[in-house]
Structure 1
Amino acid sequence: MTAPARILVAEDEPDVGMLLQEMLAGEGYDVQLVTNGDQLVRRAQEQPPDLIIADLLMPLMDGLEAIRQLRNDTRTAHLPMLILTAVGESARVVEGLETGADDYIVKPYDREVLLARVRSHLRRAAQLPTRNPLTGLPGNVAIQAEISRQLEQQSVFALMYVDLDNFKAFNDVYGFARGDRAIHLLASVLQEQIDPGDFLGHIGGDDFVILHFGADPEALCQRIIRVFDERIRSLYDEADLQRGYLIATDRYGVPRQFGIISLSIAVVTTYLRSFATVDEMSRVAAELKQAAKQVSGSSYKIDRRSDITPASPLTDRRSGNSPDALIVCRNEVARAAIVATLNVRGYRLLIADTEVAAQGLLAHHPHPCLVVAEVIDAASLALWQQLNHSAPLIALVHDQAAAAAARAAGAVAVVWLGNNPLDLSDQLQTALTALASDPE
């Protein structure tokens, strides 16, 4: 037997509230009655109903503020909400609809009209997959609706797309049950780290969305990454943790080493730019997420362009015509110098700090046109050799033995790693110029 729909009514006039409760209960609904906006918010958050009816004018907190708070709470953002208003309050009705109400009923209300609207909104809500079945978070329909609502209100917010890297390999090795645990872990971390009032949704699979209304989305990204990177290790077998990677096949059927699951976060904000539609904002986010996934380990990319910013290299590369260059370098300062040098040359960069991390990048971009990799000994050349020497190698070396091993293996150039980033950049520029003039 199906449980009756639960309706939460907020009405401060006792006679009106009791009449509403009796009328709805008579139709078979489970009705709860509260008398102010504060009680409405608390009750809805504790046990979300199927539908909310709220009077506009109430003590402690009016209906508009209550609806605004409930729309900004992931537990209640998807619920159908109706407002009760008196005749002649058209301006308040408009304000209520813009705040997030789905419909309105004018007092004194017509019994049949009210019941018809309640049935209509409950039926529509039941037909929409508003909740993700795995996490219970608002699903794709609710996410799209919430982003649209915030854009229509010209809100200032950051849209953050979060997903897992190396998740397929994790699923392949450990099975879908443990994969679901990884998704639950990410959902838990996100729920803990977002600010009060932020919206959290689960698109599906390992993809999540946050609408962040604070002023510092970068700090939120850093918190999420720090906590997630600590906790995800608990889902790995100890032997795999000690080794530092899993062995699985990529989408092309090539066996590879995949590092510990990490996060890629794309952040698009309305701080400096305006967006007309959800699709427009989502396209920029997808572009940023792709850029984040070209860096090994947990990373985030924030769109800092404004409405008056001319086209940047990020937007110019949407066509996918830029050649891929794989960078493998443990030293952060040296890696930054290499990135800056290759960026100027127009490469799309795949950035890793170890050979294992590079394997994860190659699983999605298996044919780089250039490899710039740190060579410590002959074993360090294994990654390039797996590519069958299809891309020229510029070897980064610390000593003569590594330089000799790289030259013997066929490296087109040797660049010495020292303490001076400018010197490193100059060496790399020379090697790239020579490569461009003699690609063979």
Structure 2
Amino acid sequence: MDEVGIGLFNREMVRSIKQRWHDGGIGVIYVRFRIGNAASESVLQLWESEEPKMIWRQRLEWENFYLFARHPKDEPIDKLIEKAQERLNSKLRAAWAKAASKPGEDKDVEVSLGSAVAFPPATGRSSETVIFRMLMDAMEQSAYNLPIGTEHHEIGRQNGHPGMAIEPQTIEPQLQGKSVRIGTLAVPFPIFPARARVSEVAYLFDTNAKAQGAVIVDQGRPIGILMKEKLHQMLAGQFGLPLYWNRPVDRIMNNQPLIVDEQLPVEYVSQLAMARDFSQLYDVVLITKEGQMAGAASIRSILECITTLRTEAARTANPLTGLPGNEEIQHELQQRIALKKPFAVIYADLDYFKWYNDFFGFGLGDDLIRYVADLLRRERERFDGNGDFIGHIGGDDFIAVTGTEYAELLCQSLIERFDEGIKAFYGGVEVTTVEDRHGNPVEQGGVTLSLSLMLWDGEVPLAAEDIPRLAAKLKKQAKARKGSVYVMDQIIGMHHGEERK
């Protein structure tokens, strides 16, 4: 396999594609799986090394993009991509079957795949536009492909029986650890009352080419949606006009639109939108503010926003762990404080990490840092903390922003699992003594984990820059104790009570 480029949507990537796609196009395979899934990660690494047609790759947290090119005498690019994806499918299914057969083995190996191809653009379209559309198509396809490892699970939303009046569900705000809210993508959308006639909506579509749909509201609250394409399909039938023309629009609208509050993160809304039935996959997402219609966002605008976020996240992420760096950490804390809702902050750092680096080497030191990052990710998912944020401050220092209701349990679990896993990093060496930063010997069984847990009630005045200062006090208490520990405190302004756990 020739050298594979790394990066996503940069100048070198575009240049590389332009050099190759006149030989019959370019293809992409998009892979999404849970971080910390060791079985899937191993399979991906093996698969990458065995694919001679791969020319470019990029990993963004749990998402992977693999670009392929063909030589003039090769089979068509779509066949090439199809076979490469099937080879990956086979390896992943084997890994899933192996994990499922072992008691106590981590069986959460769900992996979603999508693929797409692109050819040199026609006149009037830029290469960048064609490449971007290819990436988006692969992401969209993965949303309705059955994930590997979920063959026996039901996918998709349950629909009511025909004629049944179903109350549309509004997804309420939840902190998701993302920095861009869906409300920023809201744009005005045509609105009609529930008793408006179908003919009125049809007239709007006929006289306004840009109108792609209409929202049906009841006292300002969205209750349904009618997309232009679907209305035209209904009216085009043999009895379409006489059957529907004068009926109230609420009789034919989609009464299960995706309605979300403006505070929801764009990434989370994207997941909800992609989980819809295929017939509704490209319907706009309705956005509310305090229950009232605030606008709508198209699937295209949501996916474009996510791509921008991913690119920016990759630019600012810590290169060792892929976790958000200090810029995003500060942004996240500011956003949480602005919402004025309770949250918890956990500062995590390793004790005697310098000794470990000096004794075992920087390579294993880097492995230990990545282990802590993966441990934080896995424990977040184990507690179903989809809204949690994890960042890498630098070195062996990490931060997690999580819910107050389970923050203490999370700390306890982190310590337990860290103490179990750290033993493997000594390579069979029995450690009884370490050295502190000054080179003084300390009777200690190796590296330990110190956690500083701060709880905020959402009311006490707080600024993002106050949090590191408050954490420093708890960190000092934790490091004064032997072994892996956590110290918890309530943020109550300038004065702190202290509670040792």
Question: TM-score if structure 2 supplies the norm length?
Answer: 0.43
More helix by share: 1
Alignment TM-score, normalising by the size of structure 1: 0.48
Greater C-alpha radius of gyration? 1
* More contact order relative to length (CA 8 Å, sep ≥ 6): 2
